[in-house]
Structure 1
């Protein structure tokens, strides 16, 4: 029982370790390896909670460790990546050295969300605001889209400081916006009860297959749009049906 108690926390610390390694790769401008280690960290972040529930060893310590680990992997790392992108596309003749540091607004937004998530009792079966892992994947994919895309339009968009700043500000906003987003957790093996999740996951696979790295931000954007459509139409229909 003692060993089982520590397994979720060890997995959480491995998530933190992945975040630390990703930071080193970002500092060397190796965004691809940083992306892979962040993905591994997010994968581990999913399984620490899974094993905590499986072994019935959830604890306040585990909750705090999880948020602290996520703060690095899904907070500091994407903020650092945006800092690098803003710095890279900055005019060498520009006297401003402060502008690239605005990329860390993502880190501030992530920190606020993670702290708020721990005390928000509404986010047990769904999310309010974009989860930090999803936001992180979006930001981490940008330098890879820039690297592997042959489109001049994409290049011009992702090397424009004002566009990157807009993405930064919107990222911090959407993390903490009062927008309900559906959960991807499948609790019962029933297509009727999980059709939204199944359709979205199927669409995500198609986007990733056809668009590769560009598919990652498209998946995140689709996730938000599908949630908004679901909130606007299908949930309203469900409420009307229940009232009848």
Structure 2
């Protein structure tokens, strides 16, 4: 067997490794480091498919591995992060000690409300399962891709850490905002909205105008807004896709 057949799968496994490491940091409230490994995992996720196409070694195994890796990096980690943020927002330790809506077992207390954050993990799993069975999503996506949703959620602790603003912090750490975000993410992940994919068959501007415009605007936003740009870019991505349905 040719070694090149294993190269894309190896890159996919690096994505899974990054996601697994991110889980360890996320459960220990080290959100920034967790985000770093998620970003690295998404980088590998982008290049495994690209390499598979370039080397002409696409396979069913590669497709399944890719979804399994995404489930951890872009499904489990953002669910844990959102769980943790909601727990902070509702002051879960205090609630667990006094609120009937909590679980007490062997000295461990857990509020049920933050579990809403884990709905994102369930919705991600459902989306990835559907994606593997859908043969239409070759040049576009139905619903928000799990890596994009992961970036949206992972941007929140980064904004809190590096762009300390009382106004923004109060919004992000508002329990109703976080709970609404959890349900919105679940909807977007499994919606029927067609979203363009950043896959280039060639590099001409004529055939990829939408992609180039999106990339240029995104870079400008990142320079100007820094981490706040990430949710803005996700919103822009959805809006551009909706207004370009006939060209996707």
TM-score when normalising by structure 2? 0.90
Alignment of 1:114-153 (within 5 A): 114-153=128-167
Q: Which of the pair is proportionally richer in strand?
A: 2
Alignment of 1:154-233 (within 5 A): 154-231=168-245
| Cα gap change, 1:34 to 1:93, in 2 (>3 Å) | closer
Aligned position for 1:35: 35
The DSSP-based 3-state class of the residue aligned with 2:244 is: helix
Q: Which runs of 5+ in 1 are unaligned?
A: 239-244
Q: Which of the pair is proportionally richer in helix?
A: 1
User: 1:154-200 CA distances to partner (integer Å, 9 max, x unpaired)?
Assistant: 11111111110000000010011010111222222211221111111
**CA-CA distance at 1:130 after TM superposition:** 0.5
Alignment of 1:56-71 (within 5 A): 56-71=56-71
The DSSP-based 3-state class of the residue aligned with 1:219 is: helix
**CA-CA distance at 1:229 after TM superposition:** 1.8
Aligned position for 1:52: 52
TM-score when normalising by structure 1? 0.91
**CA-CA distance at 1:153 after TM superposition:** 2.0
Greater shift, 186-195 or 15-24, is seen at 186-195
**CA-CA distance at 1:149 after TM superposition:** 2.5
Equivalenced residue count is 233
Q: Which runs of 5+ in 2 are unaligned?
A: 102-110
Give the distance between the partners of 2:41 and 2:164, measured in 1 at CA. 29
